[in-house]
Amino acid sequence: MRASRLLRILLILQNRGRVTTLQLAEELEVARRTVMRDLDALTESGLPIVVRRGNTGGVELGFNYRSRFVGLSAAEAEALGLLLVVNMPMMAALGMEQAAQLACDKLVESMPEIVRQRIKEAQCRFRVSAEPGSAPDVRVPALAAAVRTSAMVRIRSKAGSPRTIHPVALEFHSRGWLIIDALDPQNPIPMEEWGDINISARRFD
């Protein structure tokens, strides 16, 4: 467990720059005393840990220390964000959800800030709580594009009157795909109610 925490501290310092020991303690869910011992251990291992005192002080890595990482494109970062969560229901069924989540957190933390942000955005926009098993539906990638670009969508459902929605997320679980409408986020629209869709050139905030 401690080795895992030491690695996470290193990744946080590498990717975020200067942070306080209080911030580290809160994120790692340990006492500040534990963080200080971990920083001592990292220093003893040869890492250039620099501690600055005062109101603007904190902990950082000196000498521009950084491990190498090959950058990802925006599309690759989005795909990685979904790959990290798509199999979580299966991992939970196997009793491995916690270990899988920690592994995902470490991998994400090792990325540059812009990649971490893209991963976070992808996981907010596209949510999976079950394994997709039905045949592909051409409306799903069209709605995914609308979510990415904040495009208004006109739904012509057979079950009711046509309506314009502001799609902010797609979610997949045991009932199938749902679209989250910013105008009525508490009532996701299931796939069977979508009917024909029209992606507008107009954007919403």
Q: Give the residue among 107, 103, 123, 121 at the shortest CA–CA distance from 15.
A: 107
Please state which of the ranges 36-40, 134-138, 141-145, 166-170 shows the lowest mean pLDDT: 134-138
pLDDT digits (tens, 9 = 90+) for 2-28: 767 787 888 888 878 888 988 899 988
H-helix or E-strand spanning residue 175: none
Burial group, residue 34, by CB count within 10 angstroms (0-12, 13-18, 19+): middle
**Which tens digit of pLDDT belongs to each residue from 183-201?**
999 999 988 888 889 999 9
Distance CA 177, CA 45 (A): 49
User: In the prediction, which pLDDT does 43 show?
Assistant: 85
Residue pLDDT, tens place only, 75-115: 888 888 877 777 776 676 556 778 888 888 877 877 777 78
Q: What percent of the chain has pLDDT over 70?
A: 86
Between the alpha carbon of residue 191 and those of residues 123, 138, 155, 160, 196, the distances in Å are 20, 12, 11, 14, 11
| pLDDT number for residue 130 | 62
